[in-house]
Structure 1
Amino acid sequence: MGRRTVALLLAAVCATGALTSCSAEPAREAPPSPLASAEPVPESSPAPTLESSPAPTRGRAPSRPFEVETRKLKLSRGNDRPLPTTVWYPATGDGPFPVVVFSHGLTARPGDYAGILARWARAGFVVAAPAYPHTSAGVADFNVIDLLNQPADASSVLTQILALDGEAGDPLRGRLDRDHVAAAGHSGGGVTTLGMLSGNRDERLTAAVVLAGRQVLPGTFTGPALPVLFVHGELDQTVRYADGRAAFSAVPWPKALLTLPDAGHVVTSGEEFDLVADATTDFWRWSLYGDAGAGRRLERRDNLDSDF
């Protein structure tokens, strides 16, 4: 990649303010917990309902919540790219469960998103969230340009998680739906997710969610069509709403944009958090389980621009 391309990428990302000053110095403080509930879910905490849900079937998502387990895996892509990954997954039920790889924003960490990621797992999804080596909270060598490498990182994590489906003795053995996998991300993680749909296309993906993200990485959208849900606050001063809508408009496949009129870059609690959690969960139920009822609920939401 030439110097001009790298310079343009840096300028584009820095223009968002994307949770960092874009300096060469590492972040000194983690950002507010984006999309975390007012009461973050601790590791290995059970859902309020302990009743086991029936095995999921195509065309109908699980109707009752699962208990949720959390585990941490020491994954990597090569010797120089450690990708410690937190996994939220249903503790009960045989599955198979669809898999979502989630990418955090710049200077954030997977645990910052525990509220919404546990909500997805409770609904019957396995969610794997890596901490990226040069853009997560607390790294000594923060480098925004490393966003270029993150789509390949996320794909590597997805490969390693799916491999657990065949690993003897693993809690996820035989419980993963390898045919229904998705990517999601917030802010810089949304940039990473869009990268997995364009220049670094992962053709295993069958759905995607972009939360307060924009298209920055080079490349056009390629590969098989898949539904994409965008969620963006109109008052976002970090990644402008207009940039999020531009990314939405550029996607050539079935897509929807859920606009949050009173929200900024992060949604921490209250009605807006519940709206995002419920809408994204219904999107996963529709796109990954084929649940038509969830699709109808999503379509009826206010402030949804959709061509599903």
Structure 2
Amino acid sequence: MSESAVTLPQQSADAPATVVSAKPVVMPDPGRGTDLHVRVSAPATGTGLPVVVFSHGFGWSMDGYAPLADHWAAQGFVVVQPTHLDSRTLDIPADDPRTPKIWRIRVNDLTRVLDDLDVLEAAVPGLSGRVDRDRVAVAGHSWGAQTASTLLGARVLDADGAPGEDLSDPRVKAGVLFALTGLGDDLTPFAVEHLPFLRPSFAAMTTPALIVAGDSDRSHLSTRGPDWFTDPYVHSPGPKSLLTLFDAEHSLGGIPGHEVAETTDESPARVALIQRLSTAYLRSALTADDTAWKAAATALEEDPEPLGRLRSK
């Protein structure tokens, strides 16, 4: 679809577009052992709508991350949220034979969504014919960010330190990665034993991405401090942008949801900044309209009491 065919609803945060949503869209998957359930949200108006596929953090589901999913949909994006096998809603036991492979099944969930966008498009009343499948981004938080990063070119190192399978997807044009874990050189003994897939290489993560990290995010999975979460920016080729949020912990102010128990650093202002910058970034990356991105970056730089710092390369 040509750029001239894109008619996103140009909405402000104070006057968002009406959003329509369908859930669960059930995608049978015998090989997975559990059918894939997906939520699809989209603005009620507009054509040539870009797609954002969002991968949730550990234990969450398609029903989480409303501050992101609902906001993006209201700003003109089709937001697709699969429920991964680690979701608490599925209650899969730790000794399930699929557990060691869940990180890889998560990646399959995202590629399955991309393979069957026609099915998902048809599930939302009035959405057919309004989706631009050539403008696709992936996003995710925590484990979901790692899942999404593999489609951007990040690779999991094997036991000998060699890069594993290339799972990048050329259909994906950009990414937004929230609290993405860093290199595996400084993992805690627990992480080494139980989470061997936390050994990424970002050397081939060439797809453009916005990486969001909190400067108070201290993980029990790494012996390093909050700078661990900046590794994806430092060690990946450009073009990348890094938004470092001041005083933000792993939930980055509350992106998983409003007033959820996991949020220890609740900050509506911080979440609003994330909404504004991530939306502007997605619009720039997927529609070649960088007006909002430049304006948001300038506003952050000129703010006398900024909530974060933005770097780009």
Q: Do they fold alike, i.e. is TM over 0.5?
A: yes
d(CA) in 2 for partners of 1:68, 1:88: 7
| Residue identity matched to 1:257 | L
| Corresponding residue of 1:90 | 43
**TM-score (normalised: structure 2):** 0.72
- TM-score, normalised via structure 1 length: 0.73
**Shift >6 Å, 4+ stretches:** none
Could you tell me which of 70, 76, 82 is aligned with 2:21? 70
Q: 1:131 to 1:217 in 2, by over 3 A?
A: farther
The one-letter amino acid paired with 1:285 is R
Whether the 8 Å contact between 2:20 and 2:43 is mirrored in structure 1 is yes
Deviation at 1:78, TM superposition (A): 3.9
Q: 2:174 aligns with which of 181, 197, 207?
A: 207
SS in structure 1 at match of 2:63 = helix
CA contact (8 A) 2:19 2:73 kept: yes
Alignment-derived partner of residue 155 in structure 1: 111
Residues in 2 aligned to 1:60 and 1:297: alpha-carbon distance in whole angstroms? 21
Aligned length: 248
Whether 1:186 and 2:141 are equivalent positions in the alignment is yes
Query: How much has 1:127 moved relative to structure 2?
Result: 0.4
Letter in 1 for 2:270: E
Partners of 2:67 and 2:271 within 8 A in 1? no
The answer as to whether partners of 1:60 and 1:291 remain within 8 angstroms in 2 is no
What pairs with 1:1-308 in structure 2 (closer than 5 Å)?
57=4, 62-64=9-11, 65-72=16-23, 73-79=25-31, 80-93=33-46, 95-133=47-85, 135-138=86-89, 139-142=91-94, 143=99, 145-164=101-120, 171-198=126-153, 199-215=166-182, 216=198, 218=200, 222=204, 225-238=206-219, 241-266=226-251, 267-268=253-254, 269-300=267-298, 301-302=300-301, 303-307=309-313
Question: Larger RCO: Structure 1 or Structure 2 (Cα < 8 Å, ≥ 6 residues apart)?
Answer: 1
Counterpart of 2:44, as a letter, is: A
Q: Which amino acid aligns with 1:254?
A: P
Closer/same/farther in 2, CA of residues 184 and 76 from structure 1, 3 Å limit: farther
Measure the CA separation in 2 of the matches of 1:298 and 1:59. 22
Partners of 2:215 and 2:26 in 1: CA distance? 37
Alpha-carbon separation, structure 1, partners of 2:203 and 2:249: 27
d(CA) in 1 for partners of 2:123 and 2:275?
33
Gapped regions of structure 1 (runs ≥ 5) = 1-55
Q: Which moved more, 1:234-243 or 1:199-208?
A: 234-243
Match of 2:260 in 1: none
What fraction of aligned residue pairs are identical, expressed as a percent? Answer: 31
1:162/1:241 CA distance change after superposition, 3 Å: farther
**Offset at residue 277 of structure 1 (A):** 0.8
User: Does the CA contact (< 8 Å) of 1:101 and 1:183 recur in 2?
Assistant: yes
Please say if residues 152 and 196 of structure 1, whose CA atoms lie closer than 8 Å, have aligned partners that are also in contact.
Answer: no
Whether the 8 Å contact between 2:20 and 2:124 is mirrored in structure 1 is no
Conserved? CA contact 2:22–2:124, under 8 Å: no
Deviates more, 1:137-146 or 1:113-122: 137-146
Gap regions ≥5 residues in structure 2: 154-165, 183-197, 255-266, 302-308
Q: Is the 8 A contact 1:201 1:222 kept in 2?
A: no
Deviation for aligned residue 1:164? 4.8
CA distance in 2 between partners of 1:284 and 1:271 (Å): 20
1:76 to 1:304, Cα distance in 2 relative to 1, 3 A: farther
Which amino acid in the other structure matches residue 273 of structure 1? V
